[in-house]
Amino acid sequence: MIDFKIDTERCIGCGLCSKECPMLIIDGQTDYPEIKAGKESLCIRCQHCLAVCPTAALSILGKDPDQSELVSDELPTPEEMSRLIKTRRSIRKFKAEQIAPELIQQLLETTAYAPTGHNKNAVMLSVVDNRNDLAKLRSLAYDSIKQAREEGRLPADKAMLFNVQRLWASKQIDVLFRDAPHLLIASAPKSITTPIIDSTIALSYFELLANSHGIGTLWNGMIKWVIDEINPALARQIGIPEDHVIASTLVFGKPTVSYARAIQSDGLNLNRISL
């Protein structure tokens, strides 16, 4: 059931919900919009009908349109968005201080709006939001690398992880987590159509949101290697379901350095298709 409802006192009969429905299952020729007979199962749960209604007369999937954020003209300018994208940097040196839990929660809740294939919304965001828990995870990760090396289980193409582990053991140089106070892991069920893409989009949204608050981020594939290939049991230990695949991870926190300018791109690698 998609729980399609019309508030007849608000509906103005504009027909936008019917016209905007990508699956064409809303009948706009009746007195008030309704789902065409036998078509309810075709709904892709995009909520476009709810979003396009100018009078908040339409509810679907149990959603109250009055609880939706209204579209506003107060958006970043194209120039501001371009500057944010161009000036983002991979941060490898972080301050010890933690990000306020309320801000982390705000970033995560906004990231939940990232698009997903077939509107599955199945991405799980696993966050370490305090330094104490991250310190415990750091120890588990480095111990896992050491044990894998001693048991001859360290994959040849991941041999560099042993050097990373030795740096930590001998000099407390944390190449794996970069001494960041926080970690974000994006995963999704293997059974959905686009688990890796969906999770990667979510991380990209989070990164830009974080950067807009002055929070630095670093995409970190090495942590994924440790969880996926060195110690898969670690995923269960931190609450990632067995049927999930991890796309990547981000470490994040307040950067110790501020950059004065953007780098200069080596140029656009463009293939303009003409048939």
Q: How many CB atoms lie within 10 A of CB 131?
A: 17
Angle of the 101-111 helix axis to the 195-212 helix axis, nearest 10: 140
Can you tell me the distance from the alpha carbon of 30 to that of 180, in angstroms, rounded to the nearest whole number?
58
Of residues 18, 44, 212, the one with CA closest to residue 116: 44
Can you tell me the distance from the alpha carbon of 251 to that of 110, in angstroms, rounded to the nearest whole number?
18
Residue recorded with tokens 């989009």:
201
* Radius of gyration from C-alpha coordinates of the chain: 23
| pLDDT for the residue numbered 124 | 99
Across 165-176, b (16+ Cβ under 10 Å) vs e yields beebeeeeeebb
Going by C-beta distance under 8 Å and a sequence separation of 6 or more, which residues neighbour residue 107? 206, 209, 210, 213, 215
Q: Which contacts (CB < 8 Å, 24+ apart) does range 83-88 have?
A: 83/262, 84/208, 84/211, 84/212, 85/208, 86/262, 87/259, 87/261, 87/262, 88/207, 88/208, 88/211, 88/217
Question: Do residues 247 and 207 make contact, with C-beta atoms less than 8 angstroms apart?
Answer: no
Residue recorded with tokens 């905007």:
20
| pLDDT for the residue numbered 14 | 97
* Segments in the chain below pLDDT 70: none
Question: Do residues 252 and 184 make contact, with C-beta atoms less than 8 angstroms apart?
Answer: yes
Which domains does the chain carry? 5-67 (3.30.70.20), 79-253 (3.40.109.10)
| pLDDT for the residue numbered 234 | 97
| pLDDT for the residue numbered 79 | 98
Can you tell me the distance from the alpha carbon of 82 to that of 262, in angstroms, rounded to the nearest whole number?
11
Residues 74-84: tens digit of each pLDDT: 999 999 999 99
Stretch (H or E) spanning 212? helix 195-212
| pLDDT for the residue numbered 156 | 95
Q: What's this model's pTM, rounded to 2 decimal places?
A: 0.95
Question: Do residues 54 and 7 make contact, with C-beta atoms less than 8 angstroms apart?
Answer: no
Question: Do residues 226 and 161 make contact, with C-beta atoms less than 8 angstroms apart?
Answer: yes
The β-bridge partners of 189 are 244
| pLDDT for the residue numbered 39 | 97
The three-state secondary structure class of 69 is coil
Can you tell me the distance from the alpha carbon of 109 to that of 106, in angstroms, rounded to the nearest whole number?
5
Residue recorded with tokens 């998609």:
2
| pLDDT for the residue numbered 118 | 94
Biggest CA-to-CA distance, the chain: 76
